Structure formats: C-alpha cells, structure tokens
Amino acid sequence: MQKKQGSRPKGSLSHKPKFGTNKAQIQSTQAGTAKGGQESSTRQYTVKEPTELLPFLLEKLSSLGRNAVKAILARGQVAVNGKAVTAYNHPLQPEMTVTINKDKVVEDIPLAGMTILHEDHDVIVIQKDAGLLSIATDTQENQITAYRQLTAHVRNHDPKARIFVVHRLDRDTSGVMMFAKNEQAQQHLQNTWQESVKERTYVALVEGMVRKPEGKISSWLKEHAKSLKMFSTPYPNDGQHAVTHYKTLQANKSFSLLEVNLETGRKNQIRVHMQDIGHPVAGDKKYGSKSKEINRLGLHARVLAFLHPTTGKLMRFETHIPKVFLNPFKEPGVKK
C-alpha cells in the first residue's frame, strides 16, 4: 500500500477508484464492446508525452471536426484521471488517463467535513474532521453524517450501492476511520476486529503535565443509566474491559501531548481513562476538562492499519497531528 507524501494524509494515491482498469489494455483503444456486439460508450487513452487536452483530443478523434471535439469537451464528456475537465488548455503529462464518454461524465459529489483516503470494492477509508457525526442516532436523524455522505457518493455511480458501518469515531474526534461497501466485508471486519486491526493510534492533548513518560491504563467501563456517561467501575468484571497505552510526546506545566494506542475499542475509552489519571482531554467538558485552549476536543485518530477483508493485504493510513494540538507548546510571541 503506497502512502501519500507531503502535507496530505498518507493513504491511497487517489481517492478516485479505478475498478479493474488495465492501462496496458486500453492505450489508444476503444474500451471493449458490450453485449450483443455493441460498442462501449467510453474510450480511454494513456498520455505518452506532455501536451494540452484539446490538441490531444483532435489527434485521437481525427474523424471529428474541431467544433465537434470542442462540444464534447464543453458537455463534460472528457475526464482526465477520472475527473471531468472542460478546459481546452488543460495540461497533460505522461501516464495520465484520458477518458471520452458518449454520455456526460458523472462527477463526484462534494464531501463536507471529510476526505476519502482510499476506496476499493470492499472498503472506504476516510479522514473525518472534528464536528462531523460518523452515523446518526435516532435524535440526530436529520443531521449530516459521514455515513450519509458516503452513501450518496457510492450511489452517484451505482444506485444500488450501500455503505456498512464497521466502527465509529466520536463526533468531536477527528482522524482516520473506515466503512465497508458490502455486508461480507463488514461482517469479516467486525467478527475478526482484534485480529484484523494491526494498529490503532491516537494523539491526545490532555490537561496538565503527565509525569510518567509512558504507561498503561486498565479498567472496566460501564455507562451511567441516566447521564449516559461512561465511567470506570471499581469492581472487576463489572462492565467491559478496556486497556489503553500512552506515551508522552511533548509536555509543559499546562498540557501534555500523548500518543495513545488501544488494546480495546470501548465507547469514550480514551476520554474516560485520561480523566481517571487526572489529565482530561483538552476541551472535553463531559469528562472533566476546564480548558478552551484549542476550541475543540483534543483527540485525533492518527493511524489505522488493518488487513484487507478480501485480499488480506496490510493497509496502513497515517495522518498528521492537527496543528492546533501543537499550539500550547509554541514559544511566547510565536504566531499560532
């Protein structure tokens, strides 16, 4: 699995899925024939040398006049690397794929509060912003969620497509999470979660200076019947066993930045455990925080690595620490 370089999240090189495409088979050829001998509605070409889109199309569609080729462009029937392009002078580089469609190209629906890192036949991996619900509850049925947006995304290409929930992130937690695109993948991932998930790492900005450079927190978690807050019960085997490991990355007298790894994935686990050791997550009023330093919850799901439910291949996605988490450690006078 290749990772992205630079400032963008590490994951797939492109979130535009290319299902079953073999460039060696489509270079300067028509994209096959449909049933009954009818020609396919698309043609795909691989760019060989730097040029612009209109001259490239005039060469490939030499049987058409210049105005006809311009009309095809204007109607959005040409895509470069899967994205519709209408500009005559759009630059092309070697290995780019140009697709010409007899019908108007279907463009992806814009996504709010999230970015697709990877998509294939079985899974979609996203980076979720803080503030976006993973999936709605009964009282949140009219709100925008990652689940609803991804459902619209896949149905834009296939009206029968569906999205399946595998796990969740709290609304105010940002970072990497995944959904399944079919029931088989969902069931496999959920039934083998402990074996399939190889790494699940968070960064947490917590209040105060954590004295121990690293540690392990283990408790039994229960949910309060009225407040619905999770808490650690003093009685063994009373609730769900939860184990959290942490390591200090940076600290001063006011805040600590921790790398947190989960052995278990219980509801609000990190937030409860940080409160248990006297260092609540910054901005987490529900679990004892009094700080407003970063104006959001100081919790980010930084890494998710798992075995692909169909291929068994290790998939690893890593994102950057949110810049706002580093603000409390900047020298006075440095612009935040």
Establish whether 170 is a catalytic residue.
Answer: yes
Rounded CA separation 129/216 (Å) = 28
- Dihedral angle at the C-alpha atoms of 173, 178, 183, 188, nearest 10 degrees? -100
143-150, long-range: CB < 8 A, 24+ apart = 144/112, 144/113, 146/113, 146/114, 146/177, 146/179, 147/179, 149/109, 149/111, 149/112, 149/114, 150/124, 150/126, 150/179
Residue pair 97/113 in contact (Cβ under 8 Å)? The answer is no
Q: Which of 103, 108, 120, 170 is catalytic?
A: 170
Nearest CA to 11 out of 309, 324, 301, 303 is that of: 303
Question: Catalytic residues, which ones?
Answer: 170
